[in-house]
Amino acid sequence: MSVPDKIQKEITLRAPLARVWSAITDSKQFGTWFGCALDGPFLPGKKANGTIQPTKVDAEVAKLQEPHAGTPFEIVVERIEPMSLFAFHWHPYALEPGMSYETEPMTLVTFELREVEPGTTHLKITESGFERVPLERRARAFTENEGGWTHQTHMIEKYVYGAASGQ
């Protein structure tokens, strides 16, 4: 009956380390794939304010993000170690319109990069600190997301199917 308190994801990308590094740490590029618009660069110890904006890399996800467009959003940069580590704080799943998350605890998101071989980059993402987020918020965020499940399942099917047929 234990509850994990962090999320960890690893992915190997067929792209040079420098390319992945700038996609993650250049706030303009970050906004393009993540689906947000940020008001300034990522600097250690500084806050970047932004709004959710539909992603430009996937039309279907963009459609899902459309209802949240304009939702304010903030990232407080914790650490930048060139080509290897980028860490920031944010409010997990802070999508509810009109809801103020300012006083709520933030989680820490860490991106760790490593060159596997030239042109191939390994990325590990860790989100931790969930033990500080109120249960009420977590339960509500889940309720909020129920409508998105059908789409998400569809996304997985599409991804798995695409991978299986060698696309």
Partner 1 sequence: MAQRRASSARVLTGSAPVFAALGDETRLQVVSRLCNEGPLSIVRLASNAGVSRQAVTKHLRVLEDAGLVRSSKEGRENVYTLQPRAFVEAKRWLDTISLEWDHTLERLRAFVED
Minimum CB separation of residue 142 from partner 1 in Å reads 5
Q: Minimum Å distance from CB 51 to partner 1? A: 17
Nearer to partner 1, 45 or 121 (CB): 121
Nearer to partner 1, 45 or 152 (CB): 152
Q: Where are the beta strands (DSSP E) in 24-162?
A: 36-38, 47-52, 72-81, 85-90, 107-117, 120-128
Of the pair 72, 130, the CB lying nearest partner 1 is at: 130
For residues 121 and 13, the answer to whether their CB atoms sit within 8 Å is yes
Closest distance to partner 1 from the beta carbon of 146 (Å): 9
List the 120-128 sheet strands across, edge first. 6-13, 120-128, 107-117, 85-90, 72-81, 47-52, 36-38
CB 23, min distance to partner 1, A: 5
User: CB of residue 49 vs partner 1: minimum separation in angstroms?
Assistant: 20
- 3-state SS, residue 30: helix
Contact (CB, 8 A) for 129 and 146: no
What gap in Å lies between CA 63 and CA 66, rounded to an integer?
5
Can you give the binding site for partner 1, defined by CB under 8 A?
1-5, 7, 9, 11, 13-15, 19-20, 23-24, 29, 32-35, 55, 57-58, 61, 92-93, 96, 123, 125, 127, 130-136, 138-145, 147, 152, 155-156, 159
Query: In terms of CB distance, is 45 or 98 closer to partner 1?
Result: 98
Nearer to partner 1, 49 or 145 (CB): 145
72 closest CA partner among 94, 103, 56: 94
How many other C-beta atoms can be found within 10 angstroms of the C-beta atom of residue 101? Answer: 19
